[in-house]
């Protein structure tokens, strides 16, 4: 009987982990309802049943063990600990909406396999609890041998394009705009319901539009929700990095697992510099229109305001470029073995996260001389 109860506990816990990106059981959301609220309600009901099963089975296991071991003093405390842990796993509607958006971003970067969400692929059978842990969660886009997929591994009939360079822009006019690409994922998954789902998600997340959610640097935005999801105890490991301009009117998103020694230069060459040229051309055009309009009248005054606004934006973009170039010109080669906080530290001027600056200052003090980045800084004479 105890074997059956333990098996039920393990399977129920795995079923809870299906929506947790940080677990080896993550599969993601497979929509069955017509709205996020209905989808969340169904998931919440299922999770409550799973939590009840785990807790009840835990109590029964304790009772079985009580007659064999002297665990009377542990039963009550362990049961309370289980209850607290399980209650913490309950998802609010906001949590659920955040998970949906995060899953979409992961699909764009090629982290998650969108075919599970569309039902085109069936979930693989989970391994025995005592088997070695899999290299990838079942929901990850991977090869048949369980290794994360690369461009050459993806067939032409895959239902969406993947951003393999690991860079997305916060730029409505760019083909790699994060909002545009997330909407593309939503259209594949939700089809004709995509627009309604996006509107509903924005209402739940209390933002006017999806771009506002991605641009918010504080607790109510995508960035900090992602940081919290990928942080546990003292380990903080966000994998989608937000590089934000001073006023938040432009930004880039980098995918940690696509980092290489050239990614910052690619960001400058393919995203930032073309954006600056485009906006400088617009500024020139607006100035010519003002000259033609003269200096009097409502049209002239509006053009003056447009010029001031465009000059501010161009200045903001140049500031973003300068800060990104400073980090790129360090010519540091990322090493994922160093961990997220040390790899993100050189971007401290752009990342709205105090930990980045803290770890950069500690790197300059020589605190992490054992790390690859610490050694590179020493070799370049930046750390004495």
Instruction: At 41, list the tokens.
Output: 């309600």
Q: Are the beta carbons of 214 and 178 closer than 8 angstroms?
A: yes
pLDDT, mean over the chain: 89
Q: Which tens digit of pLDDT belongs to each residue from 235-274?
A: 899 999 999 999 999 999 999 999 999 999 999 999 999 9
The pLDDT score that the predictor gives to residue 51 is: 75
Residue 353, burial from CB neighbour count under 10 angstroms (0-12, 13-18, 19+): buried
33 vs 183, more confident: 183
Q: What angle do CA 145, 149, 152 make, to 5 degrees?
A: 110
Max mean pLDDT among 30-44, 155-169, 297-311 falls in: 155-169
Kindly state the average pLDDT of the residues 294-307.
82
Between β-strands 167-170 and 231-232, what pairing exists: parallel, antiparallel or unpaired?
unpaired
The pLDDT score that the predictor gives to residue 76 is: 45
Task: Give alpha helix (H) positions in the chain.
Answer: 2-17, 36-66, 72-87, 93-108, 114-118, 178-190, 194-205, 210-215, 222-229, 263-267, 273-293, 298-328, 340-344, 354-364, 372-379
Please, which residues bridge with residue 112 across strands? 140
How far apart are alpha carbons 201 and 196 in whole angstroms?
9
Kindly state the average pLDDT of the residues 43-61.
75
The pLDDT score that the predictor gives to residue 130 is: 75
Residue 63 pLDDT grade (very low, low, confident, very high; cuts 50, 70, 90): low
How far apart are alpha carbons 374 and 383 in whole angstroms?
8
The pLDDT score that the predictor gives to residue 75 is: 42
Q: Which tens digit of pLDDT belongs to each residue from 172-213?
A: 999 999 999 999 999 999 999 999 999 999 999 999 999 999
The pLDDT score that the predictor gives to residue 3 is: 66
How far apart are alpha carbons 366 and 375 in whole angstroms?
9
How far apart are alpha carbons 319 and 370 in whole angstroms?
33
The total of other beta-carbon atoms located within 10 Å of residue 43's CB is: 18
How far apart are alpha carbons 270 and 167 in whole angstroms?
10
Place of tokens 């929506």: 19
């Amino acid at each position: 009987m105890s074997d059956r109860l333990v098996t039920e506990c393990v399977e129920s816990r795995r079923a809870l982990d299906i929506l947790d990106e940080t677990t080896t059981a993550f599969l993601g959301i497979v929509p069955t309802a017509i709205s996020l609220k209905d989808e969340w309600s169904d998931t919440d009901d299922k999770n409550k049943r799973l939590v009840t099963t785990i807790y009840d089975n835990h109590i029964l296991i304790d009772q079985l063990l009580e007659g064999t071991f002297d665990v009377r003093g542990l039963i009550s405390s362990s049961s309370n600990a289980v209850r607290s842990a399980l209650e913490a796993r309950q998802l609010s509607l906001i949590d659920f909406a955040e998970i949906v958006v995060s899953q979409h971003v992961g699909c764009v970067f090629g982290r998650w396999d969108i075919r599970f969400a569309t039902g085109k692929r069936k979930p693989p059978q989970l391994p025995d609890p005592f088997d070695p842990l899999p290299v990838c969660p079942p929901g990850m886009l991977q090869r048949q041998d369980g290794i994360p997929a690369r461009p050459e591994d993806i067939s032409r009939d895959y239902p969406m394009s993947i951003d393999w360079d690991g860079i997305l822009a916060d730029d409505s006019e760019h083909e790699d705009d994060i909002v545009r690409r997330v909407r593309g994922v939503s259209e594949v998954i939700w089809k004709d319901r995509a627009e309604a789902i996006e509107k509903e998600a924005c209402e739940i997340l209390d933002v006017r539009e999806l771009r506002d959610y991605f641009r918010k640097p504080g607790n109510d935005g995508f960035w900090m929700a992602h940081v919290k999801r990928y942080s546990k105890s003292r380990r903080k490991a966000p994998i989608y990095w937000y590089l934000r301009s001073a006023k938040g009117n432009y930004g880039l998103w980098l995918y940690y697992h696509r980092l290489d020694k050239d990614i910052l230069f690619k960001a400058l060459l393919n995203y930032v510099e073309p954006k600056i040229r485009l906006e400088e051309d617009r500024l020139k055009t607006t100035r010519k229109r003002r000259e033609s309009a003269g200096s009097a009248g409502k049209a002239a005054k509006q053009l003056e305001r447009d010029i001031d606004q465009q000059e501010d934006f161009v200045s903001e973009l140049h500031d973003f470029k300068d800060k990104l170039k400073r980090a790129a010109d360090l010519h540091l080669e990322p090493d994922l073995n160093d961990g997220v906080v040390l790899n993100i530290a050189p971007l401290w001027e752009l990342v709205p996260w105090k930990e980045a600056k803290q770890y950069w200052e500690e790197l300059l003090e020589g605190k992490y001389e054992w790390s690859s980045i610490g050694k590179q800084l020493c070799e370049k004479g930046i750390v004495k």
